[in-house]
Amino acid sequence: MSGLSESCKTTEVDGCWTLPVILMNIWCYGMMLFWTLLCIMVFPFVLGLCKIVLRWPVDRLMRWYIWIYGRGWLLLMSPFVHFRREQMQHVKPGQPALFVVNHLSFFDTYCMGLLPVYDIIFAVRAWPFRMFWYSQFMRLARYMNVEDSSWFETMENCKQAFVNSGAVLFFPEGSRSRTGELQRFYSGGFKAAIDAGVPLIPLVIDGTDILLPPGRKQLRPCRIKLRALEPIDTGDFSGTDGPLRLRKLAKERMAKALVEMRADRKDR
């Protein structure tokens, strides 16, 4: 691990094409392409077999398959990226909840494979649905395009997920942070949690801003952490100012956790 740590410190500062960085980019981009094509090719057979054996609805099977895809990505990246998850006792399988997570990189969504639950519907903006190699899978998984959908449609999809003991995940910043700091939070996810009466679980991710921040294509070795914070009972946030108060509380807790996680990053 000492070699990995030194690589992180070096590449974080100067971003030069050191040997570890060159090897990482060749390996990771190559294997990610291979893994993505493999998962697309075997998908019809896996879907058919699981449909017969597990008898799950197609959308649930698709969310499980995407989670497996994400777990495979984590494994392929592990020679160059150290992944760590913290306080996952707050995330309970089969418990309806709404997650909110900060947004640092394109790869944040893949890192949700660190969560111990797979039945999560992602609420995202329109642009991921324009990637033809992912769009059909996202639609099968019933992922939500919140940018092109009405609030009524978004809320109905959230409630349906909760009825089926699933979860929904929002990126409350709406876009990736270019500074690494928390941006303005939008209220949609917080209002959805209150209206549906489900707990809000803030998630905090750190390290993906070193791996691949906005505007850069070069991957860098790093350490990535995903921490689950204590669930917030949304029943305490009634009234017209409820979403604002919930949003403020969640952001305060996430900002505090992010400071703690980055202090640990500097100590290494």
pLDDT at 131: 79
Global confidence as pTM: 0.89
Contacts 24+ apart (CB under 8 A), 20-23: 20/80, 20/221, 21/218, 21/219, 21/220, 21/221, 23/80
| Residue 140 neighbours by CB distance under 10 Å | 17
Q: Are 190 and 246 in contact (CB under 8 A)?
A: yes
Dump strand ranges (E) for 45-170. Answer: 81-86, 97-101, 120-124, 144-145, 167-170
Q: Are 84 and 157 in contact (CB under 8 A)?
A: no
Tell me which of 239 and 226 has the higher pLDDT. Answer: 226
pLDDT at 171: 96
Residue 122, token pair as written in the block:
């992602």
The CATH class, in words, for 2-267 is alpha beta
Averaged confidence pLDDT in the chain: 90
- Condensed to tens digits (0 to 9), the pLDDT of residues 11-47 reads 444 457 889 899 999 999 999 999 999 999 999 999 8
Q: Are 199 and 232 in contact (CB under 8 A)?
A: yes
- Condensed to tens digits (0 to 9), the pLDDT of residues 227-261 reads 999 999 999 998 999 999 999 999 999 999 999 99
- What is the distance between the alpha carbons of residues 187 and 140, in angstroms, rounded to a whole number? 26
- What is the distance between the alpha carbons of residues 134 and 252, in angstroms, rounded to a whole number? 34
Domain boundaries, the chain: 2-267
> What is the percent of the chain where pLDDT is above 70?
93
- Condensed to tens digits (0 to 9), the pLDDT of residues 109-163 reads 999 999 999 999 999 887 778 877 788 889 999 999 988 888 889 899 999 999 9
The SS3 of residue 216 is coil
pLDDT at 245: 97
Q: Are 94 and 162 in contact (CB under 8 A)?
A: no
pLDDT at 2: 36
